[in-house]
Chains A and B, each alone.
Chain A
């Protein structure tokens, strides 16, 4: 799997949008971008995934650049419960299914 680069930590005020960047410059054509998050002492939670088009669901939006070398996860109105470590992972779902976790971004949402 291609590697990703994320900032170590970010802060966001409650109610504001949280924009979490991810670089994946070596992503290949068949690899999707996945985002998971892990709240302290819990298992990771799937958030969203995309290939090349922007995606939105009830949790977040995913913006992927045209060259697919980077993406941004957007939490439109962050709450305290969104405080977690966010992992950006690239993976080809058609081949090996294992996920390789990097260090992620620790998002702290504050009052």
Chain B
């Protein structure tokens, strides 16, 4: 199956700083990628849809100025958590759609963010 990677896998940052998380599709091009957030013992919640070459589409209640998404190439999308606070501590997961004709969505391994 297609491979999606994330970097870093784990990050600890101080309150008020910004953190960038990368999501890469390793063996396919993805015009669309998705960013999810998951709190402990909870399900995945979609934050935004990342579109290559255009602005991301954010879900209701997600602050676009706080969670900056850039999808500058067909294999890379980045999520920047700006001015992070402890309540932003979570597991962030990206996913990508393979080229047209397949139905699966492939997920990255996730990034554990801890804000102190």
Q: Find the residue from B6, B91, B105, B112 having the highest chain A CB count within 10 A.
A: B105
CA distance A100 to B105 in the complex (A): 12
By a CB distance below 8 angstroms, the chain A residues around B44 are: 38, 44, 101
Q: Is B93 located at the chain interface by the 8 A CB criterion?
A: yes
Q: Which residue of chain A lies nearest to B44 when distances are taken between CB atoms in the complex?
A: A101
Interface of A is mostly: loop
Give the Cβ gap from B101 to chain A, nearest Cβ, in Å: 10
B107: CB under 8 A from chain A? yes
Least CB distance from A106 to B in Å reads 10
Judging by beta carbons under 8 Å apart, are B104 and A46 in contact?
yes
Q: Tell me the smallest distance from the CB of B6 to a CB of chain A, in Å.
A: 8
| Complex: chain B residue closest to A43, CB-CB | B107
Which residues of B line the A interface, CB within 8 A?
1, 4, 6, 32, 34, 36, 43-46, 49, 91, 93, 95, 97, 103-110, 112
Evaluate contact between B91 and A41: CB separation under 8 angstroms. yes
Smallest Cβ distance from B32 to chain A, in angstroms? 6
Cβ-based interface call for A102 (8 A): yes
> What is the interface size of chain A, counting residues whose CB is below 8 A from a CB of the partner?
21
17 A-B pairs (CB sep. < 8 Å) = A36-B107, A41-B91, A41-B110, A41-B112, A43-B93, A43-B109, A44-B93, A45-B107, A46-B106, A46-B107, A97-B49, A98-B34, A98-B46, A99-B95, A100-B46, A101-B36, A101-B46
CB pair B43–A102 under 8 Å, yes or no, is yes
CB-CB < 8 A to B6: which residues of A?
43
Closest to B1 in A: A46
B107 to chain A, nearest CB (A): 4
Chain B residues whose C-beta falls within 8 Å of the C-beta of A104 in the assembled complex: 43
Whole-angstrom CA separation of A99 from B36 in the bound complex: 10
Q: How far is the CB of B92 from chain A (nearest CB, A)?
A: 10
Q: Are B34 and A49 in contact (CB under 8 A)?
A: no
Q: Which B residues touch A98, using CB under 8 A?
A: 34, 46, 49
Q: How far is the CA of A59 from the CA of B1 in the complex (A)?
A: 13
- A residues 20-60 in Cβ contact with B at 8 Å: 32, 34, 36, 38, 41-46, 49
